[in-house]
Amino acid sequence: EVQLVQSGAEVKKPGESLKISCQGSENSFTTYWIGWVRQMPGQGLEWMGIIYPGDSETRYSPSFQGHVTISADKSITTAYLQWSSLKVSDTAIYYCVRHHVHSSGWRLDYWGQGTLVTVSS
């Protein structure tokens, strides 16, 4: 069974850097796109971007481009989401999710358990 296991909760101060991870359970990790979705406290879901671990091609939502970096290390079937300078407004749960390509689009079929990031001075 496919599993995406995310790193644990983080508490950081504004201006600090952070890298959270999402490890896939199977070798086919490199043949699927992995994306990240943000959920701010009490709010809805926001799609941030995706990466194809096979060749590290990435696509970002304009809302997040330039503020986060999505990367992957296919040798350890792990995707990452990182910030170089956190803001209080980055406080949220971040989910990694496998994007499965079907005939006409995407299906977000396997989700990690979520990583809570708290940014507070």
Partner 1 sequence: AIQMTQSPSSLSASVGDRVTITCRASQGIRNDLGWYQQKPGKAPKVLIYAASSLQSGVPSRFSGSGSGTDFTLTINSLQPEDFATYYCLQDHDYPLTFGGGTKVEIK
Which residues make up the interface to partner 1 (CB under 8 A)? 35, 37, 44-47, 49, 59-63, 95, 97, 102-109, 111-114
For partner 1, give the closer residue by CB, 8 or 62. Answer: 62
| Sign of the dihedral defined by the CA atoms of residues 50, 8, 30, 84, in that order | positive
β 4-6/92-102 pair status: unpaired
Least distance (Å) between residue 114 CB and partner 1: 6
Angle at 101 (CA atoms; ends 100, 107), nearest 5 degrees: 50
Angle at 50 (CA atoms; ends 27, 45), nearest 5 degrees: 115
- DSSP label at 121? -
For partner 1, give the closer residue by CB, 13 or 107. Answer: 107
Least distance (Å) between residue 18 CB and partner 1: 20
For partner 1, give the closer residue by CB, 44 or 121. Answer: 44
For partner 1, give the closer residue by CB, 75 or 103. Answer: 103
CA–CA gap between residue 72 and residue 76 (Å, rounded) = 9
Least distance (Å) between residue 47 CB and partner 1: 4
